[in-house]
C-alpha cells in the first residue's frame, strides 16, 4: 500500500471527487480526516473509510473561516497525531453568469472558499509538516484554471489563482521536504458540475475515480520529484483544448 501509516486531510470530502479521494487513500493505507460543511455527508464517508480498516475523523469545517481551519488541524493532531497529506478540494461553483450580472457577494463567496480556503488550510498544516520533515499538499484546480471563458469568470479566476498559489508555495517549501502540486480536472460527473452546468452531456464526463487515482500518485513517494507541478487530467472528451 502506497500510503500506509500516513494521515491525510481531505477538504470537500463529503461527496464527489473529495469522497472518492478519501476512499482511494484509505485503500492505500492512509488514515483520513474528512472535512466539509455538511456533517451528515462527512460522517457517512468517515464510516466508509473505517469499513476499509482505516482510522477516520469527520470534521465539520468551513475552509473560508480561519478559526474553523485552525480547529480542523487541532482536532486532527489530537486524534491522529500527525498530518502527512493535505488535499485542498473544497470548492463552490458558479451558475452561468456574465461579469455584468455577477454581484460582489457572489464573487467574494467563490474567492473565499476556492482561494482563501486553499491558502488557510495550507498555511495551517505547514508547521506540522515542517516539524515532521515533510509532507504533501495537493490543490485541486480545474480545466477552468487554464483559460477563461464567458459566464464563468469568478470560478475560473479562482481556479487560476489556485495554480499560482501552488507554484508560489512550492517555491517556498520545496527545499524543506514538502511537495506542493495541483491537479486540473476536466469535466467530472459530480453534483457541483451538474448544478453549475446542467446541460453538460454526462456521457462526456470522467468519473471521480479518475481524479482520485492522480491524487494517490501525487500523495505517494512515486511523485517525490514533482514540485509546483500541475497535472492536467482533462480526460479524452475535454483534452482537446483548455477552453472547452
- Residues noted as catalytic: 155
CA–CA dist 166, 180 (Å, integer): 6
User: What distance in Å separates the CA atoms of residue 6 and residue 80, rounded to the nearest whole number?
Assistant: 10
Please report where in the chains the cell 488557510 appears, as a residue: 120
Residue 179 near residue 226, CB atoms below 8 Å: yes
What angle do helix axes 16-27 and 39-51 make, rounded to 10 degrees?
A: 20
Find all residues with CB under 8 Å of 28, minimum gap 6, and list them.
1, 2, 3, 4, 216, 219, 220
> Helices then strands (H, E): number in the chain?
9, 7
Amino acid at each position: 500500500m502506497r500510503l500506509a501509516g500516513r494521515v491525510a486531510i481531505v477538504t470537500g470530502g463529503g461527496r464527489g471527487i473529495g469522497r472518492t479521494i478519501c476512499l482511494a487513500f484509505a485503500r492505500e493505507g492512509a488514515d483520513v480526516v474528512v472535512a466539509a460543511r455538511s456533517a451528515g455527508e462527512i460522517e457517512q464517508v468517515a464510516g466508509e473509510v473505517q469499513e476499509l480498516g482505516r482510522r477516520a475523523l469527520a470534521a465539520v469545517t468551513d475552509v473560508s473561516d480561519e478559526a474553523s481551519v485552525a480547529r480542523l488541524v487541532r482536532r486532527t493532531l489530537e486524534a491522529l497525531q500527525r498530518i502527512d497529506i493535505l488535499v485542498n478540494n473544497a470548492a463552490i461553483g458558479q451558475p452561468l453568469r456574465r461579469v455584468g450580472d455577477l454581484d460582489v457577494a457572489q464573487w467574494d463567496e467563490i474567492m473565499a472558499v476556492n482561494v482563501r480556503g486553499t491558502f488557510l488550510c495550507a498555511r495551517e498544516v505547514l508547521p506540522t509538516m515542517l516539524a515532521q520533515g515533510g509532507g504533501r499538499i495537493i490543490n485541486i484546480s480545474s480545466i477552468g484554471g487554464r483559460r477563461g471563458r464567458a459566464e464563468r469568470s469568478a470560478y475560473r479566476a479562482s481556479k487560476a489563482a489556485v495554480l499560482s498559489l501552488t507554484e508560489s508555495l512550492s517555491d517556498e517549501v520545496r527545499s524543506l521536504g514538502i511537495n506542493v502540486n495541483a491537479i486540473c480536472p476536466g469535466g467530472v460527473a459530480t453534483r457541483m458540475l451538474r448544478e453549475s452546468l446542467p446541460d453538460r452531456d454526462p456521457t462526456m464526463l470522467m468519473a471521480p475515480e479518475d481524479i482520485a487515482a492522480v491524487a494517490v500518485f501525487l500523495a505517494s513517494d512515486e511523485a517525490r520529484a514533482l514540485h509546483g507541478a500541475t497535472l492536467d487530467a482533462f480526460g479524452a472528451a475535454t483534452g482537446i483544448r483548455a477552453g472547452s
